[in-house]
Amino acid sequence: MNAPDLLVSIHDVMPETLPRVRALVRALVAAGHETPTLLVVPGRAWDRDGLRQLAVWEAAGLELAAHGWYHRVRQFGGLWHRLHGALFSRRAAEHLALSPDAVLDRMQAAADWFPARGLSRPTTYVPPAWALGRVEGAGLARLPYRRIEVTRGLLEVAGGRLWRLPLAGYEADTVPRRHFLRAWNAVQEGRAVRRGRPLRVAIHPRDAELALAGELHALLARGRATPRYDAFLPG
Q: Tens-of-pLDDT digits for all 235 residues of the chain?
A: 678 999 999 999 999 999 999 999 999 999 999 999 999 999 999 999 999 999 999 999 999 999 999 866 666 455 444 453 444 545 567 878 788 899 999 999 999 999 999 999 999 999 998 888 888 878 999 999 999 999 999 999 988 899 999 999 999 888 988 998 999 999 999 999 999 999 999 999 999 999 999 999 999 999 998 888 888 754 3
Domain architecture of the chain: domains with CATH: 5-69+108-232 (3.20.20.370)
Report the chain's C-alpha Rg in angstroms. Answer: 17
Contact 62, 89 (CB under 8 A): no
pTM of the entire predicted model: 0.91
Contact 97, 75 (CB under 8 A): yes
Of the candidates 25, 153, 14, the residue with the CA atom closest to the CA atom of residue 71? 14
Contacts of residue 1, defined as CB under 8 A and 6 or more positions apart, other chains included, come to 189, 190, 193
